[in-house]
Amino acid sequence: MAWFLIILPLLAAVLAFSTRSVTLRLRLLPVTGALHLAALLFALRSWNALPAASGLGAWLGLDALGGWTLLVISVLFCVCAFYAPAYLALRPERDNRVFVTSFLCFLGLASLLAQARHPGLVWVAMETTTLATAPLIYFNHNRRSLEATWKYLIIGSVGIALALLGTLFVAYAAHMGGLAEPLTFSRLVQGAGVLSRPWLRAGFVLTLVGYGTKMGLAPLHTWKPDAYGESPGVIGALLAGGVTSCAFLALLRIYTVVAAAGELQFARELMVGMGLLSMLWAAVFMVRQLDIRRLLAYSSVEHMGILAFGIGIGGRAARFALFHLAANALVKGVLFMSAGNINRSYASKRLPYVTGAIRRTPVSGWLFFLGFLAITGTPPFAPFISEFNIAATALARPYLWTGVAFLVLLGGIFLAMSDTVVQVVFGTPPPDRARTPYRDTLATTAPLLVALALTVTMGLWLPESLSGMIQSAATQVEGQR
């Protein structure tokens, strides 16, 4: 099953690249997405019986943490894959071969990353993900998207290179402790006591910087507004919910080893610091942000900060940070794709040209507004549950001020974001702005409605088995086996 999840999307990618039929290519996306999700759910049906390690030397295996992350990615991919054909039909002038191939490659690589049991393999999967998604950013083939692609490639590759150095540092820490290859995560966690501390600490800092760059934690997020701003909405959704989740998982894998080695406090402080800095940075740049895509990109920086913060606070907050991973991915999907629809209708993504979306594209306008309410932590949406619980845990801790800072930043971000969003959604449509032929259709809105419905469901009720899986993943992250 492990291989099936990886090979299926990659085979589909090969088929998409080699076929000449545009219709076949467009059908491949939803079909592969649905098959992948079904296979994953089948593999996870008895997740607690899964041999998490399946032997100390195993290279691939699905555990609670990887399974949960891959589930989030797979669901988001499905939403994007059902939306993408309708979007590509609106852009007949652009060849969709590279788009579909890259999209499918991403899913295969994410499956590899989520199941990889060796830090080196995780790194290879993450780097390949960067390379596979770079052509997506260049989809529009203009100067602005070219600039965004270049920044994404260079900053992403340098970041990932530092993560490789960090991974090698951890391997050297194990070498000094006398652990033998293959250094799977199971073996590293089991033998964490003998790892050399200076190398392990330095390795963690480097992987935090490296994978943090891919997640888009401030101040390493500089590629993010450009990449998300210049690529189509559906790609922004996949990057903001999928690629970032991959990087987060890669970071958590190393975090787990550090925690098991008894350096939890050290790692926690770094995560809390990076988390709060990201939220602060995002809040500052969201104020009077006229470009709605860039606004969403900064919102993504903020939510990566929330993830890091939650993990750093630990305990119950770590559990809700993992829950937030799903909440963020789904809502980002809704936001980016509805913003994409609005852009289509106005042929712009900036204030003051885009105002009164609710009258021009009522469904997308409402989806965008509800997505905004959801992402800023309004009940009954899922992000409310996670943000509330992370804040509550932080406030109950000895370092009370981090919880206070977290809440203040959330409030500030709500205000900063609402300023732009309210104008975009409820303003008066500019009379001199020509209306493009785009109209909301079932195909461009139904996947988003499903994603939003899932967010509401998650906010109200989570199946027993899923909450158990998150619980188990969170204890795993904190270094307990």
Contact residues for another protein, defined by CB under 8 A: 59, 118, 120-121, 123-124, 127-128, 131, 134-135, 138, 143-144, 146-151, 153-154, 157-158, 161, 164-165, 168-169, 171-172, 175-176, 180-182, 196, 198-199, 202, 225-226, 229-230, 285, 289, 294
Tokens 């100390």, residue located = 56
Contact assessment for residue 214 and residue 130, using Cβ atoms and an 8 Å cutoff: yes
> Measured from the CB of residue 169, what is the shortest distance to another protein in angstroms?
8
> Measured from the CB of residue 134, what is the shortest distance to another protein in angstroms?
6
Contact assessment for residue 479 and residue 189, using Cβ atoms and an 8 Å cutoff: yes
> Measured from the CB of residue 23, what is the shortest distance to another protein in angstroms?
28
Cβ closer to another protein: 155 or 450?
Answer: 155
Cβ closer to another protein: 196 or 364?
Answer: 196
The phi-psi region of residue 356 (left if phi > 0; otherwise alpha if psi is between -120 and 50; otherwise beta) is: left
Q: What's the token pair of residue 120?
A: 């080196």
> Measured from the CB of residue 433, what is the shortest distance to another protein in angstroms?
23
Q: What's the token pair of residue 423?
A: 């104008």
Cβ closer to another protein: 143 or 431?
Answer: 143
Cβ closer to another protein: 151 or 324?
Answer: 151
> Measured from the CB of residue 162, what is the shortest distance to another protein in angstroms?
8
The span from the CA of 115 to the CA of 121, in Å, is 10
Cβ closer to another protein: 134 or 474?
Answer: 134
Q: What's the token pair of residue 419?
A: 């300023």
Helix (H), strand (E) at residue 474:
helix 464-477
How distant, in Å, are the alpha carbons of 225, 230, 416, 459 from that of 285? Answer: 10, 17, 9, 28
The span from the CA of 210 to the CA of 162, in Å, is 5
Cβ closer to another protein: 229 or 340?
Answer: 229
One-letter amino acid for residue 41 of the chain? L
Task: Identify which of 349, 329, 289, 328 has the alpha carbon closest to the alpha carbon of residue 76.
Answer: 329
How distant, in Å, are the alpha carbons of 175, 183, 371, 411 from that of 168? Answer: 10, 11, 41, 40
The span from the CA of 55 to the CA of 48, in Å, is 16
Cβ closer to another protein: 138 or 204?
Answer: 138
Task: Identify which of 343, 365, 361 has the alpha carbon closest to the alpha carbon of residue 441.
Answer: 361
Q: What's the token pair of residue 186?
A: 């199971």
- Residue 429 is given by DSSP the state P
> Measured from the CB of residue 285, what is the shortest distance to another protein in angstroms?
6
> Measured from the CB of residue 200, what is the shortest distance to another protein in angstroms?
11
> Measured from the CB of residue 373, what is the shortest distance to another protein in angstroms?
25
Cβ closer to another protein: 148 or 321?
Answer: 148
Cβ closer to another protein: 232 or 312?
Answer: 232
The span from the CA of 278 to the CA of 280, in Å, is 5
The span from the CA of 246 to the CA of 208, in Å, is 13
> Measured from the CB of residue 287, what is the shortest distance to another protein in angstroms?
10
Which residues pair with residue 382 across a beta bridge?
Answer: none
